Every structure is written in C-alpha cells, then in structure tokens.
C-alpha cells in the first residue's frame, strides 16, 4: 500500500475536504538474541526450566513429561488430576507450557505400568521380558473391550479437562507399545490390531481437537492416519548415525523412508515436527558424529521441538546448539512498518507491514497482531486487536496491511505506537520478536502518531 492510499484509508470514515499528511516508515533492527516462544524450542524433560541446570541458560518454553497409566489412575475412576494441575502451574511459573505422553508398558523397573485394577477386572494380557536382567512385566491386550472401555475413558476425561488449556503445549499420542513408542521390540508380544490402534488414535483426536498433537514415527499405518487428520510427527532417536549397527541408522535408513511412505513430507506446514535425542548429545560427541550435520538434518525436516532429555551439553557444542535454536521453529522479524503520521479518532488506522519468519516452521496456534497507543503526556493507553492471526506463517516474507479501529473518545494528542503479537483472549504479548526495543511488558514501541479530532 502506498503512502497516499494509506492516508486515504486512514481518513475513510471521516468527511474531510483536503488533508495533507505524510507517512512514517520504520525499519526495526534485527537481533540475534536467544529467547523462548510458545509451541516450539528446546524441551526440558521431567523437570522445568527454572530447575534444569543442564540448560546452562538456554531458553525453554516447553516441559515434556511421560506418565505410566498406573501413575495417573491408581484406583479405577480416580484420576490424579491434582498431579497434572500442579505440573501445569509449575510450567507457568517456569515460563513454559506442558507437553506429555501416556504409556502402558516399559522394561526396566519391577513395576506395574498399568493399574492393577485393570488386570483384576479380568482384562486379558501378555507377560514379557525384554532382557535376561529385566524383570517380567504384564501388558494388557489392547484388543480386549475391558482395556478399551477403561483407557478410552481415561483419554476422554483428560481431554475434557485439559484440551485448550492455556498452559498445555503439546500432546504426544502414546498408549501403545514400550514407553508409548508404538512397538513391542524384543518382547515377543505383538502390538494390537490395526483397528484398535486407529481407534486409540481417533480417541485422542476427538478428545484433544484444539491441542497440537504429534504421532510417533514408528507405526506406518498409525502415523499415516494421524498425520492425515491434522497431527504432526515425532521421532525419538534423533542423532543416531550408526549406534545400533554399522550398516543401519535411524537418520539414514528409517526416517526418510517412513516419512515418504506415510505421505508426511509436507505435514510441517500445518502441524509440528518434534525430535528427541538418541541417547543424548554426549553420545553424539563420544562417537565423533557430526553435530552440525545432525542439527541441519532436523532443520531440513522443519523441526519445531527438540528434547535432549535434560542431559548436559557436551563441551564445545554450545555454539552449535545456539545456532540450532535460532533457526528451529518460528522466529519473526518485522522488516518494515508504515503508517500515516495523523489519524482521526473513531477511524481505522491501517498499518502496512513486512514480516519475515527466519525460522524453519510456522506457529501452529492462533496469536493476533495488536496495536497499543500510549498518550505521551497522560500515559493513557488503548489496545486494539487486529483480525490477522500469525498461525501458519511459513518461513519467508509475509506482507500485510492490518487496520486497527480507534475509539471515538480517544483524546487528541501525540501517542507512542507499539506493536505486539498477543494472546487474543487476554491481549497480553505472547511472542517475542527478533527485533530490538522490547519493553518489560512485551510490547515493541516503534513510532509515534498524532490523533486528531477531524
């Protein structure tokens, strides 16, 4: 939009004979500071950012937890919501949101991974022992209606209570297989039927329609179904370049083939991609694997989350991690902003903007562009929420003109003009930008404007 058309639009609600008004053009300064933003980033694992010393000052907006069913419903119908509520509160205190997975089987502990009451109800199941030194365990037959009634109810009740919760970040669809990884490798036990696996996925989809979701990469048909219905995907062994076999690795021989077979190559455009370190980064360095290449590999898949299991960063890798974090997920730079120097109260103020997402993925939730005007003398403020959501802004440039309606009773005078990307319901800043000038309350003062009573 040109300066002349901006002026015309600014005065379009007023009867004016002839008005000469120039425009303000602003080119904010880009910064390379590391910061945390919701829905992406370096995840902590079973701890929060304010207690995770291994972050070593790295920003984190996502705290990832995994729960065995027996931990959250020890007695039938008595789900430990208080435990989950406490974690959500702790996440907010730490400046994070909570991501989670529910599991029904494991290997290492002498432990009942599903509630004892499920077995006592007569649910069928299988005993397994993955290694000679591992204890024997019992996993329910997920094709059994007793399991399905109980487990589907658990998922539905969790969704009813937490879907759309402001402190819930991401749902990792689990339930099936060892550690919820959709396989029973080395146990001699098969995963449930495809019909049951799809039913479990559908139960999660229906219970959590508003929450971003990921499906683990291992189940071909399950992942195809989940990603075809709005889910992203997750891979749990990022960085493996031959740790299990000299002739096979997850990065070369599993991920590319599985993503291609499931039709998930372009899923990142609408739903998140998440990785978890195989072992952790210390193993990568010990084996002499190319960490720069590993991170570039993840970026090529448009990664939004990475989980290093809250393990220490190997010596000499901090620079690579910081480079990775500046590209992971989304990172917005306001390249240019233009508006008229004068606006009439009660009219709409159009602002022309050029944004660039210098990250590798879009945001997957709705956040809104917002304008704040603060009278330079009285300090009175007015906030207007635009109609533009940044959800789905892909890497690269986005050019928009957003009009902000000003109230009739706005006092004439000079105003500081600030922008922010906000939570639509609270009008509070949600997203940090990669530009200079952010205030403590999260706004970006960028220019001044004169409000007249034309």
Total domains present in the chain: 2
Q: How many CB atoms lie within 10 A of CB 247?
A: 8
Residue 320 sits in the same domain as residue 335:
no
- Which residue in 325, 362, 395, 294 sits closest to 39, CA to CA? 362
Task: For the chain, 454 residues long, give each residue's pLDDT as a single digit of tens.
Answer: 444 444 444 444 443 333 446 999 999 999 999 999 999 999 999 999 999 999 999 999 999 999 999 999 999 999 999 999 999 999 999 999 999 999 999 998 788 999 999 999 999 999 999 888 888 999 999 999 999 999 999 999 999 999 999 999 999 999 999 999 999 999 999 999 999 999 999 999 999 999 999 999 999 999 999 999 999 999 999 999 999 999 999 999 999 999 999 999 999 999 999 999 999 999 999 999 999 999 999 999 999 999 999 999 999 999 999 999 999 999 999 999 999 999 999 999 999 999 999 999 999 999 999 999 999 999 899 999 999 999 999 999 999 999 999 999 999 999 999 999 999 888 899 999 999 999 999 999 999 999 997 6
- Residue 276: the pLDDT is 98
- Which residue in 337, 451, 338 sits closest to 405, CA to CA? 451
- Residue 111: the pLDDT is 85
Token readout for 277 is 């370190």
Tell me the CATH number at 425. Answer: 2.60.40.770
All residues at 6 or more sequence positions from 132 whose CB lies less than 8 Å from its CB, including other chains: none
Residue 225 sits in the same domain as residue 96:
yes
Q: Structural domain of residue 432, as residue ranges? A: 3-32+331-452
Residue 10 sits in the same domain as residue 77:
no
- Which residue in 390, 423, 362 sits closest to 40, CA to CA? 362
- Residue 13: the pLDDT is 45
Distance CA 325, CA 434 (A): 13
Residue 116 sits in the same domain as residue 248:
yes
Distance CA 401, CA 407 (A): 19
- Residue 280: the pLDDT is 97
Residue 320 sits in the same domain as residue 336:
no
Token readout for 45 is 């694992």
Tell me the CATH number at 88. Answer: 3.20.20.80
């Amino acid at each position: 939009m040109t300066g002349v058309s901006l002026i015309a639009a600014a005065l379009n609600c007023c009867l004016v004979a002839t008005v000469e008004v120039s425009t303000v053009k602003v080119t904010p300064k880009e910064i390379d500071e590391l910061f945390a933003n919701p829905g992406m980033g370096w995840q902590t694992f079973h701890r929060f950012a304010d207690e995770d010393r291994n972050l070593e000052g790295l920003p984190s907006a996502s705290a990832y937890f995994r729960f065995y069913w027996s931990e959250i419903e020890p007695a039938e119908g008595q789900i430990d919501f208080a435990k989950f509520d406490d974690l959500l509160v702790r996440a907010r205190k730490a400046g994070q949101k909570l991501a989670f997975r529910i599991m029904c089987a494991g290997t290492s502990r002498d432990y009942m991974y599903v509630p004892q009451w499920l077995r006592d109800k007569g649910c069928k199941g299988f005993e397994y022992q993955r290694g000679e030194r591992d204890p024997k365990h019992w996993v329910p037959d997920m094709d059994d209606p007793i399991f399905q009634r109980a487990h589907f109810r658990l998922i539905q009740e969790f969704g009813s209570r937490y879907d759309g919760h402001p402190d819930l970040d991401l749902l990792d669809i689990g339930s099936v297989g060892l550690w919820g990884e959709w396989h029973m490798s080395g146990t001699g036990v098969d995963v449930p039927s495809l019909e049951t696996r799809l039913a479990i996925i559908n139960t999660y989809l229906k219970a959590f329609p508003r929450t971003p979701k990921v499906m683990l990469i291992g189940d071909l048909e399950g992942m195809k179904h989940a990603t075809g219905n709005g889910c992203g995907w997750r891979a749990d062994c990022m960085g493996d370049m031959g740790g299990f076999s000299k002739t096979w690795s997850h990065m070369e021989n599993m991920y590319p083939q599985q993503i291609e077979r499931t039709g998930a190559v372009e899923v990142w455009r609408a739903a998140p991609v998440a990785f978890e370190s195989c072992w952790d980064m210390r193993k990568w360095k010990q084996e002499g694997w190319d960490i720069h290449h590993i991170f570039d590999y993840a970026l090529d898949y448009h990664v939004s989350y990475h989980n290093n299991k809250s393990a220490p960063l190997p010596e000499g890798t901090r620079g690579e991690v910081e480079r990775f974090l500046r590209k992971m997920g989304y990172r917005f730079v306001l390249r240019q902003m233009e508006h008229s120097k004068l606006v009439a109260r009660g009219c709409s103020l159009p602002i022309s903007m050029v944004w660039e997402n210098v990250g590798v993925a879009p945001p997957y939730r709705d956040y809104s562009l917002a304008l704040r005007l603060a009278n330079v003398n009285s300090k009175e403020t007015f906030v207007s929420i635009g109609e533009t959501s940044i959800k789905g802004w892909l890497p690269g440039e986005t050019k928009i003109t957003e009009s902000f309606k000003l109230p009739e009773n706005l006092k004439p005078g000079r105003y500081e003009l600030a922008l922010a990307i906000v939570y639509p319901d609270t009008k509070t800043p949600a997203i940090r930008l990669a530009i200079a000038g952010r205030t403590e309350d999260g706004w970006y003062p960028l220019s001044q404007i004169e409000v007249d009573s034309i």
